[in-house]
Structure 1
């Protein structure tokens, strides 16, 4: 392989192209990492540079007069000697300028601090095109200076960082990094934090303009009343909640310094505002509690009913009643959303703080008042048993409040939801979507079949 092929150039390349190719390859073949390749690159550079200069000198057709050659003039300047022999005999030193180019490093650092990205990029290109950075030691020191500036300065944009990497030839995918990996990762994290800061500021500016875009950032950072935040949360779509959760997690776990840098105070109970994943725990509790009350009333009440019929029919009937109650509550919730601000105002004065949670927890009209309906049914179905009539409404009411509060706590899955997931994993992959879709018809069919079998057995007996 010739020295031109080592540099990736053609034999007619000029001196400037040779210097640029050498500077580019010098970042790849470093003397401390690959000394053999560096020595090979160095020899190819010297040979190509000498040949290019000889070619340029021959093109100017300079004629050396005999009188101009003194006794101290080296023999290589004699016209009779083949110039190609001189290239291999002498060692050409790398030419460097006497002083570094302008602007100075201090001026570039000052521009970076002031946020003048374009001036810094232009200065970087001037420095990289100069002969001052051809020696490896100077080039390495220059890269370290740039890294120190980026680590100490704040406010530079990710686009500026990408431009610096492109100009300097830094590429993580190719393993061409100017520093250790841990230091590079820290710089990338700083770049990501700056990108997040710009996104937050942009979203807040959009929200100030139209109150439609950037609601996730406004929900997390904008100071507002509990009623206004509750109203905004009720209008969130699934995509808005996803953006809100991602932004909150990024601030809490990855970039906690971003709010302080921007002078913002994030919502401290942002997890409480996440929508509940499911109310299955509430529905399961109501089914079990009301079924137990009906069974107990049928067994120990003044009217002695058949034990088998009560135990079989009452839980099946409660499945249908529970489904009706669920649909009714959805209608009531839509009505309560309209009176959201009034609901927040009343709940703030009447409910405990650990239930209210600044409008993100239990609300009087939306949650507490509907919990009184199953409690009233429990009292009505308790027959004439005095202790059951007094105990069952209290148990049902407090249990409904407890499980509703658990479903509203930070969007986390309730205990009953986790138990149901574990049961699904143990049972296997059942057609749960089909059961959920046809659940009502299945319940009605099972209830009718059980009632038919029961009454036929009773008639036979």
Structure 2
């Protein structure tokens, strides 16, 4: 605890303020009640006054023409005055030998504390050239340890310690930034000359710094890791000086080459397990479009494995994920949440709409009845399509290898390496839906459905800016766009229904109390009186004279 903390003052307080504060604290700390507190207060008061006298003497000494008559030299001998001058002289350019001589003189004359504080201030003001002076002070004054003088200002010591830590760590950081292993090892070997690092507290700090530095660096060298382990006492088992959580991550990164070799081997093997599929998606050699096609087939356990593998790559292999699409190991995160079955519903809507017009209009069906058929069949076939996709996709996911083999046999040439479709996951549900739509609406509806799915499949496989980062769009925006599309579809159907109802007589219209109607005198098989009847059929034009 510094003298300023005991007095409750700052270091820039003047002598008058120190005396007033001391007088005020004496009323609260009586010698008979708290002798230790009184002694601590008295020591702090005397130290503060000595410090202010030293500051004043230093300012006077640094003046252009110092005048010794301004000093209070009462009772001092010529030797003591000369020693005081020697202690308070500037330390610029001083050698270690000169510093030792000045320190011996200060100890002999009883002003060693003034030299220590002068040295502390000099090291703070000139950190670039004060490294040897700090090392000497660490040995002589025990700086940065539990045995340093309690009267030293804590803020000054903390500031000097921060500067010295930066002096040790900056070369190491620069070497890793430049990927220079030799420079790093040379700077690391220089730590043996930094004496204050021998303290247990500083040794623990240096271990934490090194472990975090190696983990955060994009450059990794097995030689650096092994030499740091040997120098710092890092090893598996008890008495390991490396933090436990970071040690596991360091070992994992050290074993990254073996891990990457294993994952690349899995990426070349058949896609039999989630590990194989995650490795193929992240580390496969196929084009970007193949990865996007593969992502459509993944299930929850596959995405969980992708998250695990991407996290391992991000933590341990930055040079690998830097070359991935978008420069990130998580380029696939938007694909996980994308709703992949919506092209099926677009194809159902178009097929039902076009198929109903081409199939029922020639049969004489009115537009209002046609709209009702379109709405009902759209819902029915959409439900059938959703159930069919769910059933077939799960079956295809279970028999993944068989699906890939069948797809590769149906595709020729370059497409065999990356089939644009899967027999089980794509062709089977598409063929069943085409058969159902063709049976109900005719072949045109089936062709429209197949063409719609093929178009969306080609658009999805198109390789557009593969190195642009993929970011998940706002779920709220997706919901709003989906709701807007549904509303537009309903409005369009309503408008068509209103237009189609114009010119027709609906139920209970035209039943006024007339004795006869035009069609009432004709047979029910008459073509002009077919239902639904029009206004002209119910109300014939009467011949007026």
* TM-score normalised over the length of structure 1: 0.46
Structure with more contact order per residue of length (Cα contacts < 8 Å, sep ≥ 6): 1
